[in-house]
Amino acid sequence: MNLITHVLIGIFIQILCFKFFTFPLNFLLTVFIAFLSHFIVDALAKITYHTPEPHWDDKFWVSWNITVRVSGYIAIFLFFPYYLGMLFANLPDIWDWVIVRRIQKRRNINGKTDYHHSNFFHRIVDKIREKTLFWLPNWNYKKFGVIPEILIVINLIIAIILLR
């Protein structure tokens, strides 16, 4: 799923872990559960609008991606004390799409970039999705797929406000 969803899940997990556990368990559980959440949330992304490739010519795609990116950055800023949960909930994306992809780009001198080897964590996500969520419809190219993600985001915001 998108940055905003992973960020909010990370905040939610950290709030819960710090509410119910004391040091050092609160830190350890936040790290562990936030990291695991990425795999479950991304596997569920099957029922959300999430095209594997960019569609710069599609206004809907562009506005949706700007919205989820910018709102993600705003949430990081507003909830910065929950950086631990936010960081670990986004770690597989940071590793696969930011770090590994960048290193690979530098390695490919002939202009061809092989993205196949960069999705280390997201291959695990694919396996989880194939093995457990095969029964869900694939809405990755359906524009109404933004609705499930918006509903998840709204519920997370309400939960965070109620818990804080």
**What is the binding site for Zn ion (CB under 5 A)?**
42, 93
Task: Output the six-digit token pair for 13.
Answer: 């997990």
CB of residue 118 vs Zn ion: minimum separation in angstroms?
12
CB of residue 1 vs Zn ion: minimum separation in angstroms?
7
CB of residue 161 vs Zn ion: minimum separation in angstroms?
25
Residue 9 or 160: the one with the smaller Cβ distance to Zn ion is: 9
Residue 38 or 79: the one with the smaller Cβ distance to Zn ion is: 38
Residue 61 or 93: the one with the smaller Cβ distance to Zn ion is: 93
C-alpha distances in angstroms, 86 versus 20, 36, 61, 126? 18, 12, 25, 22
Q: What is the Cα 26 distance to its own chain's centre?
A: 22
First to last CA, the chain: 24
Residue 15 or 44: the one with the smaller Cβ distance to Zn ion is: 44
Q: Alpha-carbon distance 58 to 56, whole Å?
A: 5
CB of residue 24 vs Zn ion: minimum separation in angstroms?
27
Side chain identity at 123, as an amino acid letter? R
